[in-house]
A and B are shown apart, each in its own frame.
Chain A
């Protein structure tokens, strides 16, 4: 199972399509580097469909949660908005790569529910 396999089926928070179908995530946006013995640095660059801040952050959160849960190997994860695709990309990148912010966000029931809707595999 590859990184792309795990993320391609994540659903967009707003549209009834997957991130892959909407080209929010592409094969080219996934980088895997070996950083130690059987440990890998996974870097994802994604392109949100709309410049709306909170949706971009939500997509970043979905990517992180899905990969944290499903990656079968020891890894470190970095998620970024593709350069030049968003006006507040630095702000968003900082939030989605702050593990304390991510952990706290996932304790928010409303946000958690939205993430679960996007990452849960359909039956």
Chain B
């Protein structure tokens, strides 16, 4: 698939189709940084630089603030609901990740304060189907957490990025995770269970996550957000160079030009091609900002079931 050129007129002209139903102006005293709908749709969580997270309940005529989650020492940067709807996670510049539980009486309780990161935590996101939490931080790492005997523990640390990790996104099945960073790379991490056939070592019963793909040279500035489509598998990135990029993966596409040599990869593998389809949705057509390095994709030796051909498609139509 290819990206399309920007539409010449917006499909939904201002003033038609969307109505502003509510303005919740009294909940926070500083910038509201993130909003998240609960899985059931009845609640909205808002995370603010004022250090609090508000929970709003949908009413007939608007929204009511039913809870204010306090405790973080400074700016709350992200909030996310677990798929179950009974757990919430928040994170802050105070370096911590908090896990909250809500009961049938709509009472919120902090069930864990996780101090695994050594710096500002930018983003938290839940695994699509398991109670597994991921966080992205100014300390250049991604960390994963799970519940263990009534408390939450950090069960994995993903190291590799060379600067702040701004966001992470899980693939639909939850076996892979994408992360984006101030280091201008998009990385894909894959989970390896204990006893895996690729021979990746795991300590104890926790899976290990390895970086299986690094996309460099595509983004010319900090990448702030990433989203992994659960329908199509496409990965979109939001970049400080004013562009959105969409990456797609095709398995079994065969070799494409130019073939590259990779070390330590067995030859009897199915093929994987990662390519960058058109940079889309710029507001004006212009030359791609000069990239200091040619775009490249590098694969770790743990990509034993995947490989090896890369063809950068032209960036703009």
Contact = CB atoms under 8 A, between A and B. Distances in A.
Interface of A: 35-37, 76, 94, 97-101, 103-104, 107
A94 B164 contact: yes
A107 B93 CA distance: 14
B237 to A, nearest CB: 17
A36 B49 contact: no
Interface stretch (B4-12, B226-234, B283-291, B304-312): B283-291
Most buried by B among A37, A97, A99, A104: A104
Interface string B15-35: 000000000000000110100
Given A37-B287, A99-B240, A107-B31, 18 more contacts: A35-B220, A36-B286, A36-B287, A36-B289, A76-B221, A76-B240, A76-B241, A94-B163, A97-B182, A98-B182, A100-B77, A100-B122, A101-B93, A104-B31, A104-B49, A104-B75, A104-B93, A107-B30
A101 B49 CA distance: 10
Nearest to B119: A94
B138 interface: yes
Contacts of B164: 94, 98
A101 to B, nearest CB: 7
A97 B240 CA distance: 12
Interface in B159-193: 163-164, 182
Contact of B120 (A35, A101, A103): A101
22 contacts: A35-B220, A35-B289, A35-B290, A36-B289, A37-B284, A37-B286, A37-B287, A76-B240, A76-B241, A94-B138, A94-B163, A94-B164, A98-B164, A98-B182, A99-B240, A100-B77, A100-B122, A104-B30, A104-B49, A104-B75, A104-B93, A107-B49
B240 to A, nearest CB: 7
A76 B289 CA distance: 12
A7 to B, nearest CB: 22
Contacts of A98: 138, 164, 182
Contacts of A103: 31
A103 B33 CA distance: 11
Interface in B28-87: 30-31, 33, 49, 74-75, 77
Contacts of A36: 286-287, 289
A82 B164 CA distance: 21
Nearest to A74: B242
Contacts of A35: 220, 289-290
A35 B163 CA distance: 23
Contacts of B284: 37
Interface string B269-292: 000000000000000101101100
Contacts of B30: 104, 107
A36 B316 CA distance: 14
A107 B32 CA distance: 12
Contacts of A100: 33, 77, 122
A36 B287 CA distance: 6
Contacts of B289: 35-36
A35 B289 CA distance: 5
Interface in B112-165: 120, 122, 138, 163-164
Contacts of A97: 182
A86 B163 CA distance: 20
Nearest to B220: A35
A88 B93 CA distance: 19
Contacts of A37: 284, 286-287
A56 B43 CA distance: 43
A122 B30 CA distance: 29
Nearest to B75: A104
A76 B221 CA distance: 9
Nearest to B122: A100
A101 B163 CA distance: 14
A96 B49 CA distance: 18
A99 B225 CA distance: 14
Contacts of B33: 100
